[in-house]
Amino acid sequence: MKIVVLTGAGISAESGLSTFRDPDGEWMQTDPMKLATPEGFAADPVLVHNFYNARRAQLREVEPNAAHFALARLERALGDDLTLVTQNVDDLHERGGSRHAVHMHGELRRAWCRACDTRMAWDEDLTLATTCPACGEAGHMRPDIVWFGEMPYRMDEILHALERCDMFVAAGTSGAVYPAAGFVELAADAGAETLELNLQRSETTQLFDDHRHAPATENLPAFVDEVIGKA
Ligand code: APR
């Protein structure tokens, strides 16, 4: 059985990372257009660097939760029959044991030099003075994060998996941002069964065959037990 799982910020909420659109979410405190667009970065790179430096540093204080561990267990059981796509830029899937998470919105722990186009692992703060280790240029480094208006990563691979899956599961996402919010329809058009595992109704709940509303740390382990039990 081929499964595509799409995760969003709700998967990491119980690890202590805030989501974006919940009442205490990131985008409730600050304007996403200032922090998560190329225009915002051009207008105030220091503000944007500080925002991502704080989120990168916060990763060192949080731990993966039962939802991350369950998805790693599912990967060990299904192997290549599982495609885990995440909108999250944290590293909790990896630290929970997943080895092949597809980060369609990039990763906090990677940087991108706009002078030489090199992308690289990055754990420290980024500033305007940061020098690219590949080309030696300073002032051209940005977080390797896909901002609004930019093309998500590895879409060919994701669309290929959606066309061939028997089941599509969205977990911890509001269904507010495309193209991820449209994956359920692509999977359904390809004949897949669709399931939403979320804390509450999302913007796309009505597009799913089934939905279970509970915290991710309850929903994901139960779902994985079911799939492995049937495998
Ligand atoms: N368990 C399960 N789901 C939860 C939990 C939890 N403990 N807590 C919150 N949720 C759900 C919320 O109900 C909401 O539907 O997680 C979802 C989080 O939605 P968003 O904050 O919109 O996050 P996400 O869907 O990942 O955002 C998508 O938007 O801002 C951009 O690029 C950013 O990747 C992000 C994209």
- The minimum-distance atom of ligand 1 relative to the CA of 200 is 13
**Joined tokens for residue 194:** 């669709």
Q: Which residues are within 8 A (CB) of 63 and not within 5 positions of it... i.e. 6 or more apart?
A: 15, 92, 95
Q: What is the mean pLDDT of the segment spanning 34-53?
A: 97
Q: What is the pLDDT of residues 137-149, one digit of tens each?
A: 999 999 999 999 9
Domains present along the chain, CATH in parentheses: 1-17+65-105+152-231 (3.40.50.1220), 23-61+107-145 (3.30.1600.10)
Q: What is the mean pLDDT of the segment spanning 97-118?
A: 98
What rounded mean pLDDT belongs to the chain?
A: 97
Q: What is the pLDDT of residues 210-219, one digit of tens each?
A: 999 999 999 9
Q: Which of 93, 103, 105, 211 is catalytic?
A: 105
Whose Cα sits closest to atom 11 in ligand 1? 10
Task: Indicate the top mutation candidate among 7, 144, 199, 201 to test ligand 1's pocket, ranked by most ligand atoms within 8 A of CB.
Answer: 199
- The minimum-distance atom of ligand 1 relative to the CA of 27 is 30
DSSP 152-189: PTTHHHHHHHHHH-SEEEEES--S-STTGGGHHHHHHH
User: 40 CA distance to ligand 1 centroid (A)?
Assistant: 22
User: 124 CA distance to ligand 1 centroid (A)?
Assistant: 26
Cα-flanking dihedrals φ and ψ of residue 193, to 5°? -80, 140
Is 140 part of the annotated catalytic residue set? Answer: no
Q: What is the pLDDT of residues 7-31, one digit of tens each?
A: 999 999 999 999 999 999 988 888 9
pLDDT value, residue 28 = 86
The answer to whether the predicted template modeling score (pTM) of the entire model surpasses 0.85 is yes
Task: Using the predicted structure, report yes or no on whether residue 231 has a pLDDT greater than 70.
Answer: no
User: 23 CA distance to ligand 1 centroid (A)?
Assistant: 11
Q: What is the pLDDT confidence band of residue 94, given thresholds at 50, 70 and 90?
A: very high
Q: What is the pLDDT of residues 116-174, one digit of tens each?
A: 999 999 999 999 999 999 999 999 999 999 999 999 999 999 999 999 999 999 999 99
- Percentages helix, strand, coil for the chain (3-state, rounded to 5) are 40, 20, 40
Q: How many CB atoms lie within 10 A of CB 66?
A: 18
Find out whether 190 and 163 touch, Cβ atoms under 8 Å: yes
- The minimum-distance atom of ligand 1 relative to the CA of 175 is 25
User: 76 CA distance to ligand 1 centroid (A)?
Assistant: 25
Q: What is the mean pLDDT of the segment spanning 182-190?
A: 98
Find out whether 125 and 111 touch, Cβ atoms under 8 Å: no
Q: What is the pLDDT confidence band of residue 230, given thresholds at 50, 70 and 90?
A: confident
Instruction: For residues 171 and 177, give the distance between their C-alpha atoms in angstroms, rounded to a whole number.
Output: 14
Whose Cα sits closest to atom 8 in ligand 1? 10
